[in-house]
């Protein structure tokens, strides 16, 4: 007799494979992995249990793929590290084996278990998390990603080095680009520097070269004196309103005047200002832009010392490092002398103070008007300060330079040599303790030095040193530009340091939580020029990968409405945190016009607030249904897997 079941496919939902990772000891040093595997064999529906030293490795993935190919399992649970790290890895492995990537569930037994528990407690908790994941996996259904048409166009917000580099890379990859800059000039803060460190290249050449390529590229449209005033849509289909208006800032007016007085043609580089690529608007205009992705390259601003900080604002001889860089450029333009000249005065002794506006300490440093302290290190200040000090000693050898620091942090290739170079050029270093910075005062003694600086030098065992100086330079740190309007409009996540927050610093370093929106450069963190351009290129590559096919595929973990249960009361719409993800629309049901909830899967993020408020239980999240949650909880509290005395 023929076997009637020979050609039948095995039933789904009851053949769960559980794969437990040792994580090279990160898990197995505290969790008895083999005991977890033995307990997992008791879970209803589990057909295969396997452990491996590194499940994320190629051999580990092959174990899963082979079991799917031969039909041993049709659902997969991996118990390992946080899903942020390798959930995508295992979904891709399932796809390569011919399975549906959404038949997968993850159990975090590293961050949630081995890193916070030990002994029997760790093993028992790991067992229950694996059991809960397996219970959910039995209820998983194969899902398909949503496909959304995407415009092959990117809007880059910010015309500094990051924005210029990102726009150019995007254009080279065949995408149309709109570059939006709020000031009249391109180049950002980089254009205000004189020389790039550690190479010592003239910044004007770098900026004009990059800007020239952008302005000459037919695929890039540049809008200066412009800002985004409205935003709507989703990945692949954003709609922005651009407003272009005459610049109001007095500083801009001064720079524009200098540009207008330039003897050279349109596009002239104004040293320490930037490139003005177009005529200045005389009236306000608006236009709409349809775009597939957005690159945020909004840059940074130097810390502005508060009035009285190291006598800043009280003594004209106290300036910031950006001020010094401009003065050095003016000295070079006016003719190099053996002594640095500032305001017609020879600078014989100059003091440079590190960590102004960075690494601030609660309870010691004074917060700003909003109560904010910059507790982070701005990373680039040490190298910039040492570079300036070395240049002064080289170009103006009769100007003595005294460097006051807490710590020297010249990270990165070629930058440690800056410290060695400065030392070799007889820059004198003094180290002060946190909480005991140098004291700057007016010089009341004889002599014509305007200021005194006093510090306890830890390099000489807290010897108190006092010296007269002509100039004090504050090495100010970086702060994020004020883009509160964009943050509010686009619902962008901001870190505690005020910079824009990426999804994951290693795995998704240029992406933010909103799909289709990317980060480039110092809007994300303090970067040097090399890091900034690398991040800009990374954002361009990511945007290209998203848009080059003309469509994007989105995970299907979105809300789903059961129209047979929905009565159109609208509670779900009111609870949804994403505007447009849920709406009430008129439908024809049994010949009657009624209002029902409708989901836009391109905007919905599967947050679940709609599920919680629906009185009819008419809405669920695909991949995270209420039934799946219930089964997980039932398994966590069940004595089926562990004896009651072990619970």
Res. 333: pLDDT tops 70: yes
Strand partners, 592: 589
Count CB neighbours of 460 within 10 A.
Answer: 11
- Give me the long-range contacts of 123-126 (CB less than 8 A, separation at least 24): 123/31, 123/32, 123/35, 123/36, 124/642, 124/646, 124/647, 126/27, 126/31, 126/36, 126/79
Q: Domain boundary residue among 455, 478, 501?
A: 478
Res. 8: pLDDT tops 50: no
546 and 578 co-located in one domain: no
Q: Domain boundary residue among 505, 523, 552?
A: 552
Strand partners, 561: 619
209 and 224 co-located in one domain: yes
Q: What is the pLDDT of residue 578?
A: 85
pLDDT in tens, 173-219: 999 999 999 998 899 999 888 888 767 788 888 898 999 999 999 99
Confidence band (pLDDT; 50, 70, 90) for 275? confident
Res. 639: pLDDT tops 70: yes
In a domain, 581, yes or no: yes
Q: Cis (ω within 30 of 0) for the bond into 46? A: no
User: Rounded to 5 degrees, what angle do the CA atoms 383, 384, 390 make?
Assistant: 85
In a domain, 196, yes or no: yes
Share of the chain above pLDDT 90, in %: 76
Do 292 and 352 meet the contact criterion of CB atoms below 8 Å apart? no
**Which range of residues forms the domain containing residue 582?**
559-621
Q: What is the pLDDT of residue 370?
A: 83
Q: What is the pLDDT of residue 592?
A: 86
In a domain, 631, yes or no: no
In a domain, 457, yes or no: yes
Res. 256: pLDDT tops 80: no
Alpha-carbon distance of 143 to 620, in angstroms, equals: 14
- Domain with 34 in it: what CATH number? 3.40.50
- Domain with 567 in it: what CATH number? 3.30.70.20
The phi and psi torsions of 265 (rounded to 5 degrees) equal -75, 175
Q: What is the dihedral of CA 444, 445, 451, 455, to 10 degrees?
A: -110
pLDDT in tens, 154-185: 999 999 999 999 999 999 999 999 999 999 88
183 and 288 co-located in one domain: yes
Confidence band (pLDDT; 50, 70, 90) for 122? very high
Q: Domain boundary residue among 478, 504, 536?
A: 478
The phi and psi torsions of 292 (rounded to 5 degrees) equal -90, -30
487 and 340 co-located in one domain: no
- Domain with 394 in it: what CATH number? 3.50.50.60
93 and 188 co-located in one domain: no
Q: What is the pLDDT of residue 438?
A: 97
Confidence band (pLDDT; 50, 70, 90) for 287? very high
Number of domains in the chain: 4
pLDDT in tens, 500-523: 999 988 888 999 988 899 999 999
Q: What is the pLDDT of residue 481?
A: 94
314 and 392 co-located in one domain: yes
Res. 307: pLDDT tops 50: yes
Do 589 and 529 meet the contact criterion of CB atoms below 8 Å apart? no
* Backbone dihedral region for residue 184 (phi beyond 0: left; psi -120 to 50: alpha; all else: beta): alpha
Confidence band (pLDDT; 50, 70, 90) for 577? confident
Residue 542 in 3-state DSSP? Answer: helix
In a domain, 414, yes or no: yes
Alpha-carbon distance of 628 to 133, in angstroms, equals: 9
Over residues 78-86, the mean pLDDT reads 93
Res. 264: pLDDT tops 80: no
Alpha-carbon distance of 617 to 85, in angstroms, equals: 33
b/e 406-422 (16+ beta carbons within 10 angstroms → b): bebbbeeeebeebbebb
68 and 26 co-located in one domain: yes
The phi and psi torsions of 150 (rounded to 5 degrees) equal -130, 135
Over residues 329-356, the mean pLDDT reads 92
239 and 226 co-located in one domain: yes
173 and 243 co-located in one domain: yes
Q: What is the dihedral of CA 78, 84, 85, 86, to 10 degrees?
A: 40
162 and 220 co-located in one domain: yes
Distances (CA, A) of 620 to 103, 527, 556, 594, 612: 17, 43, 12, 21, 9
472 and 529 co-located in one domain: no
In a domain, 382, yes or no: yes
Count CB neighbours of 191 within 10 A.
Answer: 24
In a domain, 645, yes or no: no
Res. 597: pLDDT tops 50: yes
pLDDT in tens, 537-573: 999 999 999 999 999 998 999 999 999 999 999 999 9
Do 244 and 223 meet the contact criterion of CB atoms below 8 Å apart? yes
Sequence-ordered alpha helix ranges (H) in 28-145: 33-40, 58-69, 83-96, 119-139
pLDDT in tens, 438-463: 999 999 876 789 999 999 999 999 99
In a domain, 642, yes or no: no
3-state secondary structure 571-602: HHHHHCCCCCCEEEEEEEECCEEEEEEEECCC
Count CB neighbours of 184 within 10 A.
Answer: 26
461 and 596 co-located in one domain: no
Q: What is the pLDDT of residue 205?
A: 86
Q: What is the pLDDT of residue 269?
A: 45
Could you say which DSSP state residue 432 is in? -
């Amino acid at each position: 007799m023929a076997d009637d079941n020979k050609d039948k496919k095995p039933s789904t939902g009851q053949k769960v494979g559980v794969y437990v990772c040792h994580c090279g000891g990160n898990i197995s040093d505290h969790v008895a992995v083999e005991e977890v595997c033995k307990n997992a064999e008791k879970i209803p529906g589990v057909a295969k249990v396997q452990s491996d030293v590194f499940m994320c490795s190629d051999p580990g993935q092959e174990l899963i793929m082979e079991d799917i190919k031969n039909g041993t399992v049709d659902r997969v649970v991996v118990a390992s590290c946080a899903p942020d790290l390798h959930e995508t890895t295992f979904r891709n492995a399932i796809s390569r084996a011919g399975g549906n990537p959404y038949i997968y569930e993850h159990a975090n037994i590293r961050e949630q278990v081995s890193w916070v528990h030990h002994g029997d407690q760790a093993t028992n908790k790991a067992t229950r998390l694996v059991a809960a994941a397996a219970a959910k996996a039995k209820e998983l259904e194969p899902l398909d990603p949503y496909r959304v048409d995407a415009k092959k166009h990117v809007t880059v917000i910010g015309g500094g080095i990051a924005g210029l580099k990102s726009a150019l890379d995007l254009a080279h990859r065949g995408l149309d680009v709109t570059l939006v800059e709020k000031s009249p000039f391109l180049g950002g803060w980089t254009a205000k520097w004189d020389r790039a460190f550690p190479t010592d290249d003239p910044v004007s050449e770098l900026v004009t070269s990059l800007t020239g390529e952008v302005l000459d590229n037919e695929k890039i449209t540049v809008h200066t004196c412009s800002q985004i005033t409205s935003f709507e849509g989703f990945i692949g289909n954003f709609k922005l309103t651009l407003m272009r208006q005459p610049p109001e800032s007095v500083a801009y007016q001064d720079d524009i005047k200098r540009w207008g007085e330039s003897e050279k043609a349109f596009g002239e580089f104004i040293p320490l200002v930037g490139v003005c690529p177009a005529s200045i608007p005389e009236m306000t205009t608006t236009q709409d832009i349809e775009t597939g992705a957005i690159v945020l390259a909004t840059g940074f601003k130097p810390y502005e010392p508060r009035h009285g900080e190291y006598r800043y604002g009280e003594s004209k001889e106290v300036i910031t490092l950006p001020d010094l860089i401009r003065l050095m450029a003016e000295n070079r333009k006016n003719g190099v002398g053996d002594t640095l000249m500032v305001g017609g005065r020879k600078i014989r002794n100059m003091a440079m103070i590190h960590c102004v506006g960075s690494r601030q300490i609660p309870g010691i440093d004074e917060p700003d008007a909003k109560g904010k302290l910059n507790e982070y290190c701005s990373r680039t200040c040490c190298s910039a300060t040492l570079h300036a000090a070395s240049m002064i000693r080289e170009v103006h050898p009769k100007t003595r330079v005294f460097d006051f620091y807490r710590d020297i942090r010249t990270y990165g290739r070629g930058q440690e040599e800056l410290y060695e170079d400065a030392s070799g050029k007889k820059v004198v270093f003094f180290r002060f303790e946190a909480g005991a910075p140098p004291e700057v005062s007016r010089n009341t003694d004889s002599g014509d030095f305007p200021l005194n600086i006093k510090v306890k030098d830890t390099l000489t065992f807290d010897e108190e040193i006092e010296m007269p100086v002509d100039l004090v330079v504050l090495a100010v740190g970086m702060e994020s530009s004020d883009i509160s309007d964009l943050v509010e409009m686009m619902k962008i996540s901001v870190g505690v340091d005020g910079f824009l927050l990426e999804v994951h610093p290693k795995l998704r370093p240029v992406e933010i939580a909103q799909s289709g929106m990317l980060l480039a450069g110092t809007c994300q963190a303090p970067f040097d020029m090399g890091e900034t351009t690398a991040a800009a290129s990374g954002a361009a590559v990511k945007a290209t990968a998203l848009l080059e096919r003309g469509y994007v595929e989105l995970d299907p973990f979105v809300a789903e409405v059961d129209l047979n249960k929905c009565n159109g009361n609208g509670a779900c719409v009111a609870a949804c945190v994403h505007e447009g993800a849920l709406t009430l629309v008129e439908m024809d049901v049994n010949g009657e016009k009624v209002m029902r909830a409708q989901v836009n899967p391109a905007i919905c993020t599967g947050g679940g607030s709609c599920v919680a408020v629906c009185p009819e239980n008419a809405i669920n999240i695909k991949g995270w249904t209420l039934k799946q949650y219930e089964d997980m909880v039932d398994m966590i509290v069940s004595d089926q897997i562990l004896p009651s005395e072990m619970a």
